[in-house]
């Protein structure tokens, strides 16, 4: 599997587990995601050629998918072009330069000290390394440090993908895959503020089919009314059948429109939503299959 190719697999796993919330199921999901992930991408950067060759021989290919480099500047360019979650280096300066980057994601840095002594390790930690080993460290210790680096990199990757997927799921209705009410509640006030800032028109149309809500930015009252009427006609037109029986499906609409959104009213978005909702229920109470509209002027009255 190519680097990064695990993302789609993880997203599918998360979708299947979206309805499961017990700690045991969450732990099992993470374990499955870790199993399908390839080795983390890494940079092996050593100015000491014999050390670079030695480490290249000692790092198992199934542990890290690494690229060997001797030049710090070249390593930084490679790192900037593609994030590597693990960096193994004998350069304190490279450690400092990596830690000085003002970015959200930071790599796990394993510093290889010239001597396996306290002073060398302390220098590495002071520069910003996450772990330090001496160049003559045992294979057993090196494997343990690399395994820890891999585990942290994999968990960070899983967490990042999980958070992104959770943000997507929180803004999307599970059944219809359209934006959820939470998404609407977050973004509709912003649309109202934007329309007020630029003196634009805005209309809100509510429909009672699956609680569907749509904002029509920069759409005037008359245009929004035309859209609602066309939608009502489209819904009512096709013959719907269920087990051979023809069914009549209709939709009721409530509209609140402003030809120019006034500025300075803090709760205008909430008021527009309430007015559109009241218009929707007037449509339903008046026999359904109709459009009820309310027009607000520039003063919001």
Same-domain status, 192 and 68 = no
Residue 247 lies in a domain: yes
What pLDDT sits at residue 174?
66
Q: Would you say 213 and 233 are in contact if contact means Cβ atoms under 8 Å apart?
A: no
Same-domain status, 141 and 71 = yes
User: In whole angstroms, what is the distance from residue 301 CA to residue 296 CA?
Assistant: 5
- Supply the DSSP symbol for 115: S
Q: What is the CATH number of the domain that holds 214?
A: 3.30.70.270
Q: Among candidates 252, 270, 268, which has minimal Cα distance to 260? A: 268
Residue 82 lies in a domain: yes
Q: Among candidates 188, 227, 177, 186, which has minimal Cα distance to 205? A: 227
Same-domain status, 165 and 185 = no
Residue 1 lies in a domain: no
What pLDDT sits at residue 35?
60
Residue 256 lies in a domain: yes
pLDDT digits (tens, 9 = 90+) for 269-285: 898 999 999 999 899 88
Which stretches does DSSP call E strand in 13-151? 41-45, 65-69, 86-89, 108-113, 131-134
User: In whole angstroms, what is the distance from residue 190 CA to residue 187 CA?
Assistant: 5
Report helix, strand or coil for 60: coil
Q: What is the CATH number of the domain that holds 16?
A: 3.40.50.2300
What pLDDT sits at residue 217?
61
Question: Which residues make Cβ contacts (< 8 Å) with residue 102, sequence separation at least 6?
Answer: none
Same-domain status, 227 and 163 = no
For the chain, the domain total comes to 2
Q: Would you say 28 and 20 are in contact if contact means Cβ atoms under 8 Å apart?
A: no
Which domain does 224 fall in, by range? 181-296
Residue 146 lies in a domain: yes
Beta bridge partners of 217: 202
Ranges of the chain whose pLDDT falls below 50: 1-14, 16, 18-20, 210-213
What pLDDT sits at residue 74?
92
Q: Would you say 48 and 90 are in contact if contact means Cβ atoms under 8 Å apart?
A: yes
Same-domain status, 149 and 29 = yes
Same-domain status, 19 and 164 = yes
Share of the chain above pLDDT 70, in %: 79
Same-domain status, 245 and 135 = no
Q: What is the largest CA-CA distance in the chain?
A: 86
What pLDDT sits at residue 98?
93
What pLDDT sits at residue 124?
93
pLDDT digits (tens, 9 = 90+) for 140-163: 888 898 888 888 888 888 788 777
- Supply the DSSP symbol for 105: -
């Amino acid at each position: 599997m190519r680097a990064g190719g695990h993302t789609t697999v993880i997203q599918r796993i998360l979708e299947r587990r979206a309805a499961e919330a017990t700690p045991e199921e969450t732990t099992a999901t993470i374990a499955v995601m870790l199993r399908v992930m390839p080795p983390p991408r890494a940079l092996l950067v050593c100015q000491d050629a014999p050390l670079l060759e030695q480490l290249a021989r000692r790092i198992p290919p199934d542990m890290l998918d690494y690229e060997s480099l001797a030049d710090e500047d070249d390593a930084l360019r490679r790192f900037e072009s593609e994030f590597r979650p693990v960096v193994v280096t004998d350069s304190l300066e490279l450690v400092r330069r990596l830690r000085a980057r003002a970015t959200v994601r930071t790599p796990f840095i394993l510093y290889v000290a010239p001597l396996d002594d306290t002073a060398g390790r302390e220098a590495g930690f002071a520069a910003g390394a996450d772990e330090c080993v001496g160049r003559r460290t045992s294979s057993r210790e090196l494997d343990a440090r690399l395994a820890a680096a891999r585990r942290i990199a994999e968990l960070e990757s899983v967490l990042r993908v999980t958070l992104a997927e959770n943000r997507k799921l929180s803004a999307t209705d599970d059944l219809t895959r359209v934006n959820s009410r939470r998404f609407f509640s977050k973004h509709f006030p912003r649309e109202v503020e934007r329309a007020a800032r630029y003196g634009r028109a805005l209309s809100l149309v509510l429909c009672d089919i699956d609680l569907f809500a749509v904002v029509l930015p920069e759409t005037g009252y008359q245009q929004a009314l035309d859209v609602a009427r066309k939608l009502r006609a489209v819904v009512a037109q096709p013959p719907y059948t269920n087990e051979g029986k023809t069914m009549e499906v209709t939709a009721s609409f409530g509209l609140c429109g402003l030809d120019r959104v006034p500025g300075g009213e803090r709760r205008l978005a909430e008021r527009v939503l309430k007015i559109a909702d009241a218009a929707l229920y007037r449509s339903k109470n008046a026999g359904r299959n109709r459009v009820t509209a309310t027009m607000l002027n520039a003063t919001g009255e």
